[in-house]
Structures are given as C-alpha cells and as structure tokens.
Structure 1
Amino acid sequence: MTTLALFEPGLYHLVGVSIALLAAGVAVILTKRNAVGILMGVELILNAAGINFVAFNNYVWDNAMDGQMFTLFIIVLAAAEAAVALAIFLNFYNNFDTINVDQADELQG
C-alpha cells in the first residue's frame, strides 16, 4: 500500500463533504434576506449535487462518464442561472435601491 493510497478519500468522505455543502446551502437560503446571499446558497447546493454525481460515478460505475457529464451540465446550468439572477437583481436594485427579498412583493406588472 502506497502512501498516496492511504490518504485517498473514499465514497463516504465525499458524501460527507457533499452533505456539509448541502446543509450549508440550505442554512444560507433560510437565514439570508439578501438576494445575492440566497444565490450563493443555491450555488452551494448545486455544487453538492455535482460532488455526489462524480463520487458515485467514480466508486460505483468505474468506466462510465455519466457523473462527469451530469456535473458539467450542472456547472453550465449554474452559470446561466447566476447570469439571469444577477441581471434580475441589478434591475431590482435600480428600481428599489435594495436587494432585500422581503421587498420583492412590491413588484407589479
């Protein structure tokens, strides 16, 4: 057994990191009233899903590339979601001088 193999993270380690990211993302979404903070929480949740896809693909199906392909799709989806969300936040800030989500019910039309 080599020294490198001693410290190689296993499936349980990666799932633990993914659960920690998921919990942090949910906590951020539930506690923040700032739209950018909520967007960061959503990004943490998407990263947790990507880690799960790659981890299970690596340790359950060795020769398949499905987990990596799903993770690339998640990265593209997250980039598009962030671009659209930031454009909406900028427009909301220009109209109301705040990005507090509690005041989003003032939108009309």
Structure 2
Amino acid sequence: MSQPPDYPPPPPAPPAQAYGRPPENGLGLAAMIVGIASFFVLAPLSSTGAIILGVIGLRKVRTGQATNRGQALTGVICGAVSLVLGLVVIIYVVAVLSHGVNTSP
C-alpha cells in the first residue's frame, strides 16, 4: 500500500472585510413622520420642522451618508403641502372672523 501524496497546506483565510459606517437615515425618517403628522397637529409649526428635517436629510443622501431619499423627499413634500393648507385655513379663519366683527346690525 502506498501513501497519498503530500499536499501543501491551504492558503490563509482572507482578512475580515471592514464595513463602512451604517447609513444615517434618522433625519429622513423623522421628516416623513413629522410631515405626515403635520396634517393633523399644529400645521404651520410642524410642517416647517418637516421641511427643515427633509432638506437636511436630502443633503445627507447627496453626500452618501444616508440612503433614504424617498423618505426625506416625502417629508419635504408633505411639510410644504401642510404649510400651504395651514396658512390658507388661518387666512380664511381670520377673514371670516374679521368680517363678522365689522358688520353691525
């Protein structure tokens, strides 16, 4: 009986991959949540916050720090629509109240 041939040892395992930083998607998510909530709570104030958070989130997407462009954009759009609707409602209420005060019987 003959012995099997000698094989060289296997090569060493490759080094572990160093992963980059995880994406910072918090601002885009917060913009979307605040933008949707701004339709129901304190429209002018919360919609402004949604727009600001969304713009900052979009900047992070542009620089590669975040990956949730859709959420940040949703926050900006919902915030802008809510801001316009809120201002229209405020102007309407002020106009109706001032019309009622100026009329005398």
Q: Output the TM-score relative to the length of structure 2.
A: 0.39
Larger radius of gyration: 2
